[in-house]
Structure 1
């Protein structure tokens, strides 16, 4: 995620801001410019400051304070590039559902931001059957009815509304023995399944996938039963970024995809702040880091991992000073870095052709295997 600034008064802004508190201008995110735009009313729409001869309006979901994205005034549809993927939203007559939906939409919009910056294919269910769409569902009111489970079915991703309740999500994290559980993490994991379909299965790369992640033809249901019964092997961190990643190659890919987006998006913000890490006690220089590249366009996974590990160590150290859990309590072993590299390569192959990037990637892939790296 990048930093944003009001071009009228210079105030720094959050991605979710709808109004500049310093100068009072209304704000809207314009995906085509990747910027929060200052708005001036013009008739029944708005004119974005600095964008001549064009008028915009807010996504229809702005009426519920869940979206600040803009759409061209002449566009026929009501919804922005992010909200057009919503298939089902909560019943807003329920007094508590709107607040939970607002939290879900914050995470979803940040997900779509990342997918757009990576130039990944982003078709909705209206574009084609099996396109990306979301159901945000509340648990049934009947006590004996099964609860909604967050999950995926081809392009349809279901997010349980209960996951927007911090106490409920923390309880589930503890019950499942997870190190980490967030709404944004759910979105990034579940969309990883969608991109397995797009970038692996439909693109004819299953053989290459199996060489890195294993045979996904193993019975998925039985694999999950075995995982929940016996748990992961003692040495699971050698090749997996999380315990759950050991349950099945599909879950391994989705977990790796999630962590790839975690790393890329956080590194972009680190670079936007001009942050650098250079510990005074690190005489070897191994923990020096400065993000002087665009991680959304990085040619080499090693550049990203090399920058990420010192940043993660610093974040964890700061959190511990505040009595909080580690921000990134995961180990990136050589085996995990290979898998991150596989995802990185898939993502950039899916982006518009860039001969320079492709040539560099080929040279990198012909080099030495990654060295060990860990955060813990």
Structure 2
């Protein structure tokens, strides 16, 4: 965006990060616990106010033509595709009673789409942060994740939990975000890989992160039905897993519940280790999380299983798929001097199986949404 004649209050650049979830998969919509951290990959929104009647002109580096959104489009489902996430934020803000001036929004991003790194939440949170600053919206930062989640749930129609939006908004550099998805209480837990002589290798399996045949929604509905059968508000309230499993009528539901309950405990155990400065010791919990996703929640695919198994065989301290499943990325906690060897081992295993070559990068915990300039 050119500087134009506007003041700094009328224009600027805002960014929000993608995220990886260190541990705690499919626990968020069960009112459970998660532990994400923000990536260096970010979505940016260059924005300026527009005079005249409210309208929002949205362009993107990954779309051929801009999209103009008017007040009549602020109806759930009216705008589709990538611009629907922008319209969803506009709708959620106006539905919450805020008056928004017109604006021009230009979107760019290096968050990989379809890799399970929460590119949609990064877009929502960058747009939300820009609009709040541009319009002087008095919306506390702690309240923004729920509003961004509502945009995705109720406007776009994706039944995601609140973890992605919370991570993209609230994370701090050098920390993982311990989030209670019921209360939105947060704790910034130290997560300094370099000081511990460690690295986090993120392997994009190059298998598009797709909720195959609406499997994500099916997992969620199964959990909600199980909670009703068990007489608890959500699966995070299950205290006696063995008794709960005996009370459930079918094997599939029992597997789903076992994953959620044990995954919540793995998050708590990981946080305890990080508080005690025992970062190296979280590896087995990451691996146990993956096995639970593979065997009980049944959301992994051959490429991510191969990446996990190969990373472990090559010396990783722990490895797991991250994200909603059916593709996406794998995390491997490694000694810093082993990162290249693990990366090469996974690439070689993919080549041997005829899979598309994976893309791997090192990730450190970054900052949440903020104004860049």
Query: TM-score surpassing 0.5?
Result: no
Question: Which has the bigger relative contact order, CA under 8 A and spacing at least 6?
Answer: 2
Q: Name whichever structure is richer in strand by fraction.
A: 2
Q: TM-score, normalising length from structure 1?
A: 0.30
